[in-house]
Amino acid sequence: MTSDNSAARHPRPGPHPAELRPVRRMVPRDRNEPHRVATPLELFFDLCFVVAVGQAGRELAHALATGHYGEGLRGYVLAFFAIWWAWMNFTWFASAYDCDDVPYRLTTLVQIAGVLILAAGVPRLFATQDLALPVAGYVVMRLAMVTQWLRAAASEQGEARKVALRYVAGITVCQVGWVVMLLLPHGARPFAIALGVLAELAVPVVAELRTQTSWHPHHIAERYGLFTLIVLGETVAAATVAVQSAVDEHGEVGRLVPVAIGGLLICFTAWWIYFARPVHEHLRSNRQAFAWGYGHYVVFGSAAAIGAGLEVAVESAVHQAEISATAATATVTVPTALYLFTVWLLHSRHTKTGIVQTLAPGGAVLVLACTVLGGSGVLAAGLVCALLVAVGVALHAREG
């Protein structure tokens, strides 16, 4: 992911959108480039990926509301890994090599098509464990990345070229493995999937063991922050639609108000603590960045799962869920606590003061404790989150 010697490998500032050329050499971006921000193409890419995130969240909500916990969680973990891993690989590559020419944009379009194919297959994945369509969409996305790395290899030389070619080889072998997995008996697939996931995670580590790509710390931090915002927005949207549907069908507004208030407070707190302190100044090498980047699988996944849990809590409030009120509350409190703890864990090594460092772990425990309150647990969890922010603000003001 990063390079201490990247400046010596022909760094260049990024192209201005108005300067679009048919073809550019895909040389490394300047790691110290000022004012580096997300591009409109990257934002559009994120929005398309959130379509798949929303699909996975809706299927998870349906599975949890009907008591199919095991099937729902397995499907969600696998679908979200495919979405997150393809997004993450594009993000880090773009931070180092975005040349914004016509082939680059068209290849990004192919990746978007791939995630939409994956999203179309998510309901089958949850309902019948049919992996054909999700795997097809995933392979499309990953092979598109292979062509990007081939372009980078053609413009690089020496050890940097070897890094790009190691990415090409590693990603290609993994995709062959996923296709072979489809041919295996269903009983053997869980082992093949676990092996495939480990292989995918190992590719960047092996590829950049000696020489690291020239990603931009501020750009990466912004990209992750923006995707967190978009996922939280999808969570709010999912909860809003669930409340609206429940009101239209059952008209029991009084039972839904506590869930709506609690859910809004949880989402607001999730935003607040994530952005409590900037982290880009601490992402200086792969030593910090690998753990931080990989750990966001849990951050993104738990944030999206909060939305699914709020859908279940709404159904439970109007007596449409097939699970107990306590179990329905747990679908909200568990991912909320996981989110709070993971954000603290990823940022605590870098942020020595403030709300994330001092209060988030205790808040996560209190949110989990709200599960025992049953139907009122979501509101209680939201109030705990609000208290977490209020105390953090007070402590920060006192320190200042």
Residues 166 and 295 in one domain: no
Domain final residue pick, 178, 207, 236: 207
Mean pLDDT to the nearest integer, 247-262: 83
Angstrom distance (rounded) from CA 99 to CA 108: 12
CB 312 within 8 A of CB 329: no
Measure the N-to-C terminal CA separation of the chain; round to a whole number of Å.
Answer: 36
Min mean pLDDT across 39-48, 187-196, 388-397 is at 388-397
Residues 349 and 305 in one domain: yes
**What's the pLDDT score for residue 356?**
52
Residues 308 and 165 in one domain: no
Q: Is the pLDDT of residue 36 over 90?
A: no
Q: Which domain holds residue 132?
A: 40-207
Q: What is the pTM of this model?
A: 0.89
Instruction: Give me the torsion for CA of 389, 392, 396, 398, rounded to 10°.
Output: 120
Tally of domains in the chain: 2
Give pLDDT tens digits for 339-395. Answer: 999 998 887 655 555 555 567 888 899 999 999 998 899 999 999 999 988 887 777
Query: Strand, helix or coil at 29?
Result: strand
List of residues 6+ apart from 75 with CB closer than 8 A: 56, 59, 60, 63, 122, 125, 126, 129
**What's the pLDDT score for residue 148?**
96
Residues 203 and 294 in one domain: no
Q: Is the pLDDT of residue 49 over 80?
A: yes
